Amino acid sequence: MADYATLGHYLPYLLGRRLRAVVWPAADGERALALLLLGLMALYGAGFGYLLNHQNSEGLAEALPGMLIGLNATWLVSTLLVDFFPTLRPVTRPLPEHFPVSERQNVVTAFLLDLITLRRLMLMLGLAVAGLVAPRHAAVPGFSLLLLLGASVLSFNVRLLAALGRWRHPLLAANLLSLALMAWWLSVPLAPYARALGVGMALVPWLVGAAQLYWLAPYFSARYLPAAVAAAASPAGSTLARLPLEWKVYLRRAGVPLLYGLVLKIIFLVVSGLYMTSNGKDLNPGLFFFAFLPLIGFSYVNNNLFAVVQTLAANELLRLGCTAHLLRLYARLVLPVVLVDCLVSVVLFPASRLPQLWLLPLSVPPLLSLGLWGSLYLAKPAAEKISFANSRKNVSTAANLITIAFALTLFFVPLWWVRLPLAAVVTASVAWPLRQVLRNDGELRRQLWKGIGA
């Protein structure tokens, strides 16, 4: 029988089983939740189609283009982020080695199975219903579906390279080019070439995927995937196994609030850039200020970093006391998060607010300084399980108020000769906690030990 077996025998069965597992789970509660979410998305799709049918009505004609840009940008960014944060969703070989199926067919099968998730099915269902309700405007949800599939292919391409360990392969540069095209499209949503750019950046990942299928798929076997067996047998959290220890602890504890905060930041920036400007004036500068500066990560997690990574900080304090190891731990965890936050701000920065862009690099050193102050001197025990709902309770209110007060002053005071000295003074204030840590101050050591709840 094995001599005649082909992919056609297994693929319909695997896809059907995956689809049933997502849409019709065995547990009654999960099944009801999945059907409820799909039903709500179908209703949203019907409402979207109704708006498309009445897009020429008074009031809606001006708002709908901006709404479509915001929806497409949100779907695109969330599709890219969901497979990488808070943990990497791995690509594994779907069929055993003894099945007479080639490695390329295994890659195709892995992609199709990877594509079937409840979140993607919800979005596809909503867009399909919108196209059925508004058939004359089906190109609008069709374009959104094209973006969704393009982002899904890009995500799979990068995760396939990660599974094969080919981080230095030339095709990684091609995937980064696809990501750059997506960032370009997000940064020029109202340009006359935005639609053509959107179609191009949605199709480029498919071309890169075809190149990977030809070039790298022959290596998608157990011989070149030594970690595949271990990944299949290990618990769900093992996707962080290749990260340094501090990042494993940090992402397991703070990954969810950081991810939600990043999604909120993207939504706020898109909404602020599309709806909160009129004739070059800010209608709601407060919303833009909070999303633009890298505040969310500090107010949720990084103003109390050593309590969040309590076990690591307590181990350092117990073994060595307050030393440069604590400072390096802070820099290794907080600095990459701040840089990603700033990169998102630059990519989604509205052209109408270009003169304020210089405030972004100006704000980073002072915020890092205030975050270190809060983590050392205003530490408080963090919850055993940190979630988005209790994030603010895990950070000192005083630390957050000081951070927000500084950011408000920096953003809203229009005088450069006030902004520059203020940023310089706040940044220079880090000299005191640095001195206390490097001299292994006993009072600070005892205060931090008590503050993190060790």
Examine the fold and report which residue of 203, 235, 267 is the final residue of a domain before the chain moves on: 235
Across the strands, what pairs with 282? Answer: 277
∠ at Cα 441 (436, 447), nearest 5°? 100
Choose among 156, 88, 77, 166: nearest CA to 116. 156
pTM of this structure: 0.59
Q: Which residues of 59-96 are buried (b: 16+ CB within 10 A; e: fewer)?
A: eeeeebebebbbebbebbbbbbbbbebbbbebbbbbbe
Phi, psi of 214 (to 5 degrees): -80, -40
Examine the fold and report which residue of 216, 235, 254 is the final residue of a domain before the chain moves on: 235
Q: Which residues contact 52 (CB under 8 A, 6 or more apart)?
A: 64, 130, 133, 134, 137, 140, 141
Alpha-carbon gap, residue 411 to 405, rounded angstroms: 10
Alpha-carbon gap, residue 183 to 340, rounded angstroms: 13
200 and 174 fall within a common domain: yes
> Looking at the domain assignment, is residue 57 inside a domain?
no
> Looking at the domain assignment, is residue 240 inside a domain?
no
**Sequential DSSP letters for 275-287:** HSEETTEES-HHH
199 and 316 fall within a common domain: no
313 and 352 fall within a common domain: yes
∠ at Cα 202 (199, 204), nearest 5°? 105
Contact 85, 259 (CB under 8 A): yes
> Looking at the domain assignment, is residue 89 inside a domain?
yes
Q: Residue 208: its pLDDT value, please?
A: 94
Choose among 379, 331, 348, 207: nearest CA to 266. 348
> Looking at the domain assignment, is residue 377 inside a domain?
yes
Q: Residue 237: its pLDDT value, please?
A: 46
**Residue-wise pLDDT tens for the chain (454 aa)?**
344 445 556 788 888 888 998 888 887 777 888 888 888 889 988 988 888 888 777 667 666 777 787 778 777 777 777 777 555 678 888 887 777 778 888 899 999 999 998 888 988 999 999 999 999 988 889 988 998 999 999 999 988 988 888 878 888 889 888 888 887 887 777 778 888 888 888 899 999 999 999 998 888 887 777 544 334 434 444 455 667 888 888 888 888 788 777 877 877 777 666 655 555 555 555 556 667 788 878 888 888 888 888 888 888 888 877 888 899 999 999 998 998 888 888 877 776 677 778 888 899 999 999 999 988 998 888 877 776 566 667 788 888 888 888 888 888 887 888 889 999 999 999 999 999 988 888 888 888 888 887 6
Alpha-carbon gap, residue 305 to 307, rounded angstroms: 5
302 and 409 fall within a common domain: yes
196 and 310 fall within a common domain: no
> Looking at the domain assignment, is residue 264 inside a domain?
yes
Alpha-carbon gap, residue 213 to 207, rounded angstroms: 10
What is the domain extent for residue 67?
2-52+62-235
Examine the fold and report which residue of 196, 217, 235 is the final residue of a domain before the chain moves on: 235
Contact 150, 203 (CB under 8 A): yes
220 and 286 fall within a common domain: no
Using a CB cutoff of 8 Å and minimum separation of 24, what contacts does 8-11 make? 10/95, 10/99, 10/101, 10/109, 11/109, 11/112
229 and 277 fall within a common domain: no
Using a CB cutoff of 8 Å and minimum separation of 24, what contacts does 20-28 make? 22/116, 22/117, 22/118, 22/121, 23/118, 23/121
Residue 161's Cβ-side half-sphere holds a number of Cα atoms within 13 Å equal to 21
174 and 295 fall within a common domain: no
How many distinct structural domains can be found in the chain? 2
Contact 225, 163 (CB under 8 A): yes
Contact 380, 392 (CB under 8 A): no
Between 245-275 and 310-319, two packed helices, what is the crossing angle to 10 degrees?
Answer: 140
DSSP H helical segments within 188-309, as ranges?
194-215, 228-233, 245-275, 285-292, 296-300, 305-308
263 and 195 fall within a common domain: no
Across the strands, what pairs with 281? Answer: 278
148 and 180 fall within a common domain: yes
3-state SS, residue 88: coil
> Looking at the domain assignment, is residue 380 inside a domain?
yes
First to last CA, the chain: 62
Between 416-428 and 359-377, two packed helices, what is the crossing angle to 10 degrees?
Answer: 30
> Looking at the domain assignment, is residue 143 inside a domain?
yes
